[in-house]
Amino acid sequence: MENILPRREARENAFLLAFSQTFGDIPLQEALDNHHECDEEHPVDVFGQRLLRAYYEHSAEVDDLISAHLRNWTMERLPRVSLTVLRLGLAEMLYGGEKKPGVVINEAVELTKKYGADEDYQFVNGLLGTVAREQGLDAEPEQL
């Protein structure tokens, strides 16, 4: 039986696998299988797999959205961490079943703070918030 991780951990583990994929071109299922065999410390659970599949199935649309919101930048110039976080965040926000953009944005910012350069989280926050507003999604974080 597969472990179900807390969502934050599931997102982080999915991010780590997606980030590693930026260094090679391995099909998603093969990458998941390899990851399962080689990285017991960062398992990708069912939720994480759904996030990765959403990104891979909609990668062209997600990349087009990112490109459309870049000002004086190109996709190639974006830091890999920021780009990976944006891709997963947009995939979850637009193609995930839960439709909680505020949560997605907060989690994306936290991942970028943890793995990215000092100020990259501001860019990630701004782009995801802009897309959420343009798509008519409520980008406000949920009140606890």
Q: Under a CB-based contact definition with an 8 Å cutoff, are residues 21 and 15 in contact? A: no
Q: What is the pLDDT of residue 144?
A: 39
| 94 in any annotated domain | yes
Domains in the chain, number: 1
The answer on pLDDT for 132 being more than 70 is yes
Domain span at residue 111 reads 7-135
Within-domain flag for 140: no
Give the 3-state DSSP-derived string for 72-111, with helices as H, strands as E and coil as C.
CCCHHHCCHHHHHHHHHHHHHHHHCCCCCHHHHHHHHHHH
Tokens of 33: 């299988």
Could you report the per-residue pLDDT of 44-99, keeping only the tens digit for each?
Answer: 888 988 999 998 999 999 999 999 999 888 899 999 999 999 999 999 999 988 88
| Contact predicate 90/62, CB 8 Å | yes
| Within-domain flag for 19 | yes
Domain contains 100: yes
